Amino acid sequence: MFVRTTDHAQVRLITLNDPERRNPLSPSLVAELMQALEAAEKEPAIRVVVLTGAGPAFSAGADLEFLKNVTSAGAEANYAHSLELARLFHRVYTFPKPTIAAINGPAVAGGAGLATACDLAFMSEKAQMGYTEVRIGFVAALVGVILVRHVGEKQAKELLLSGRLISAQEAFRMGLVNRVVPSEQVLDEALALAQEISGHAPTSLALTKELLCALPGMGLEEGFRLAALANAWVRETGDLAEGIAAFFEKRPPRFSPR
């Protein structure tokens, strides 16, 4: 098994589980990760997903066996492989439930891309991350789609053109991660925030994510129209009715699984 899953109440922890090879995004690991995400989406009791790596690394990126054969694999096979990675990054980025990366160690190339695709990120103070593809003649094309949304064009250019590894503090300064924490606390901190988020309305969480994915590509007027529709639609949901009732009754809300 290249992916392990464990549940912490309403939070599902997904662990990349190829520690001896530093959790590379091999075809087998990518396939199992996609299956784990599918299962987490279908499970109504799961509200938040936390993603981390087994062993000392989050993910070292490309599978070395793949790298040995990439230049002779042929255009069709290479395109199929690229599409699989694109589907993974898109799946994580648009996942209807909040996702948190617990970056326990180095996150490099595709591994950095996977962490970047998550909604939130906690990073070990000793970890490094980098989009290093340019160093060996690759292009960090897939993650570039997401990275420029996070940090803007200038910072994305610096990261992708230099290919350098950056510290946790620099990743925080650039807006790539939300918090930098001691290494032994990174997973606990991520799970704690996940538990907090999991208590909120599932409909509100999903709709907020959908809006945030759509808004960067919209103009001002179009964005406000979509936001107004979302604002009106959510008023018809059971989650809002329960939230308002709980507010006036001075009790915690009891949101139903969706």
Residues 109 and 217 in one domain: no
Residues 64 and 144 in one domain: yes
Phi, psi of 111 (to 5 degrees): -65, -40
Structure confidence at residue 80 as a pLDDT band (50, 70, 90): confident
Task: Give SS3 for 167.
Answer: strand
- Name the least confident of 12-21, 164-173, 243-252: 243-252
Structure confidence at residue 74 as a pLDDT band (50, 70, 90): confident
Structure confidence at residue 182 as a pLDDT band (50, 70, 90): very high
CATH of the domain at 209: 1.10.12
Is there a domain that residue 255 lies in?
no
Phi, psi of 103 (to 5 degrees): -85, 95
pLDDT reported for residue 127: 98
Calpha distance 82→89 (Å, rounded): 11
Is there a domain that residue 256 lies in?
no
For the segment 134-138, the average pLDDT, to the nearest whole number, is 90
Percentage above 70 pLDDT, the chain: 100
Structure confidence at residue 79 as a pLDDT band (50, 70, 90): confident
pLDDT reported for residue 77: 80
Residue 153 above 80 pLDDT? yes
Residues 106 and 210 in one domain: no
pLDDT reported for residue 258: 64
Kindly report, residue by residue over 84-129, the tens digit of the pLDDT: 999 999 999 999 999 999 999 999 999 999 999 999 999 999 999 9
Residues 206 and 123 in one domain: no
Residues 234 and 134 in one domain: no
* Amino acid in the structure at residue 242: E
For the segment 17-29, the average pLDDT, to the nearest whole number, is 95
User: Domain of 218?
Assistant: 202-249
Query: Whose CA is closest to 105, among 120, 126, 130?
Result: 126
Residues 208 and 185 in one domain: no
Domain boundary among the residues 198, 218, 241 is at: 198
Residue 133 annotated as catalytic: yes
Domain boundary among the residues 198, 214, 236 is at: 198
Kindly report, residue by residue over 190-213, the tens digit of the pLDDT: 999 999 999 999 999 999 999 999
CATH of the domain at 9: 3.90.226.10
Is there a domain that residue 219 lies in?
yes
Is there a domain that residue 14 lies in?
yes
Q: Record the tokens describing residue 159, joined without a space.
A: 């990261």
Residues 7 and 117 in one domain: yes
* Amino acid in the structure at residue 68: K
Is there a domain that residue 257 lies in?
no
Structure-token match 């309305």, residue found: 201
Residues 220 and 110 in one domain: no
Is there a domain that residue 212 lies in?
yes
Residues 21 and 106 in one domain: yes
For the segment 18-25, the average pLDDT, to the nearest whole number, is 96
Residues 78 and 128 in one domain: yes
Task: Give SS3 for 19.
Answer: helix
Kindly report, residue by residue over 221-258, the tens digit of the pLDDT: 999 999 999 999 999 889 999 999 999 999 999 998 76
Task: Give SS3 for 129.
Answer: strand
For the segment 159-169, the average pLDDT, to the nearest whole number, is 97
Q: Among residues 41, 43, 125, 133, which one is catalytic?
A: 133
For the segment 58-67, the average pLDDT, to the nearest whole number, is 83
Looking at the structure of the chain, the number of domains it has is 2
pLDDT reported for residue 237: 87
Query: Whose CA is closest to 190, among 53, 96, 81?
Result: 53
- Could you tell me the sign of the dihedral formed by the alpha carbons of 106, 112, 115, 116, in that order? positive
Question: What is the average pLDDT score of the chain?
Answer: 94
Calpha distance 16→29 (Å, rounded): 7
Is there a domain that residue 107 lies in?
yes
pLDDT reported for residue 76: 84
pLDDT reported for residue 69: 75
pLDDT reported for residue 68: 73
Query: Whose CA is closest to 131, among 174, 88, 92?
Result: 174
- Alpha helices by DSSP H, listed for the chain, are 27-42, 64-69, 75-93, 110-117, 141-162, 168-174, 186-198, 202-214, 220-234, 238-249
Calpha distance 83→70 (Å, rounded): 14
Is there a domain that residue 258 lies in?
no
Residues 62 and 160 in one domain: yes
Number of C-beta neighbours around residue 25 at 10 A: 25
Residue 2 above 70 pLDDT? yes
pTM as predicted = 0.95
Residues 77 and 142 in one domain: yes
